[in-house]
Amino acid sequence: MSIRAAIRRRISVRHYETKPVPEEMLQAVVSFAENSLALDDSIRIHLHLVREGRLVAHRMTPLTGTRLLFGSAPHFIIATSEEKPLFMLNMGFRMEQMILFATQQGLGTCWVGGMFSEERIGTFLSLEKGERVIVLTPIGYPDTSFHGRLAHDAVELVAVNFGRRKALGQMA
């Protein structure tokens, strides 16, 4: 799949099959992100692969980790960065490259930026001094069953930015 096709196909996936993703594929996604183009090479980032997704989902908020939101995600990738000028922009640029790569592999993801406490998520990571949890994503095979599609549509309907996504031609 081309990068343009991945951009058109990519959606936020909040419901996953419980089937685990093969280790080689998970490592390929993390490796791709670690070697992705950076806006500032001097900013240190780490991508932490959590193979037991429920460990992350239950630490986010009371709503997450339920059947309604991310509870079925088999894995999570937690992105951390040292805090320097432009660190958030740098992380966003690199994470989006990783998310599009995962989409090309047939995997689902969902940007999660404000639904967690850095302290709660950071408790089971070995963070270096000055390193912050910036963003995370569940990763796995999208649940395309009737329940998965119905749940996705229900969440999209009440989402804050529902219907406000710009067309690809308006972004370039």
Q: What are the residue boundaries of the structural domains of the chain, listed by start?
A: 3-155
Rg (CA), the chain: 16
Nearest partner of 47 among 86, 4, 80, 69, judged by Cα = 80
Residues 75, 51: Cα–Cα separation, whole Å: 5
**pTM beyond 0.85, yes or no:** no
Rounded to the nearest 10 degrees, the angle between the axes of helix 87-104 and helix 23-34 is 140
* SS3 call for 148: helix
Which residue, 128, 102, 130, 122, is CA-closest to 31?
102
Number of residues that this document lists for the chain: 172
Q: Which CATH superfamily is domain 3-155 in?
A: NADH Oxidase (3.40.109.10)
Mean pLDDT by groups of 10 residues along the chain of 172 residues: 87 89 97 95 94 80 57 89 95 96 95 80 83 93 68 51 58 54
